[in-house]
Amino acid sequence: MAKVVFKVGDDVSTDIIYPGRFMATVLPTETPQYAFVDYPEFNAKIKKNEFPKGSIIVAGKNFGCGSSREQAASCLKGPDFVVVARNFSRIFMQNAINLGLKMVICPTIEANEGDELEITAEQVVNQTSGKSFPLIPMPKARQAIIDAGGLIPFTRKLLLEAKGKG
Partner 1 sequence: MGMTMVEKILAGASGQSAVKAGDVVEPKVDLAMSHENGALVINQFNEIYKDTGLEAKVWDPSRIAIIFDHRVPAESSKTAGNQKKIRDFVARQGITKFHDIRGDGGGICHQILPEFGYVRPGKVVVGTDSHTTSHGALGAFSFGIGATEMAAVWALGKVLNVEVPGTIKVVCEGKFKRHVAPKDLILHLVGKLSAEGANFKVIEFHGPAIESMSTSGRLVICNMTVEAGATSGIVPPDSETLRYLKEEAGVTEVPGLFGPDADAVYDQVITINVSKLQPQIACPHTVDNVKPIKAVLGVRINQIVIGSCTNGRLDDLAIAAKILKGRKVAKGTRMLIFPASTRIYLQALKKGYVATFMEAGAVVMNSGCGPCLGVHQGALADGDVALATTNRNFKGRMGNPNAEVYLCSPAVAAASAITGVITDPRKKGE
Interface ranges with partner 1 (CB under 8 A): 11, 13, 15-16, 19-21, 23-27, 38, 61-62, 65-70, 73, 87, 89-91, 94-95, 98-99, 139-142, 144-145, 150-152, 154-156, 158-160, 163
CB of 63 to partner 1, least distance (A): 10
CB of 31 to partner 1, least distance (A): 10
How many C-beta atoms surround the C-beta of residue 8 within 10 A?
18
* Closer residue to partner 1 (CB): 129 or 143: 143
* Closer residue to partner 1 (CB): 44 or 160: 160
* Closer residue to partner 1 (CB): 52 or 153: 153
CB of 138 to partner 1, least distance (A): 11
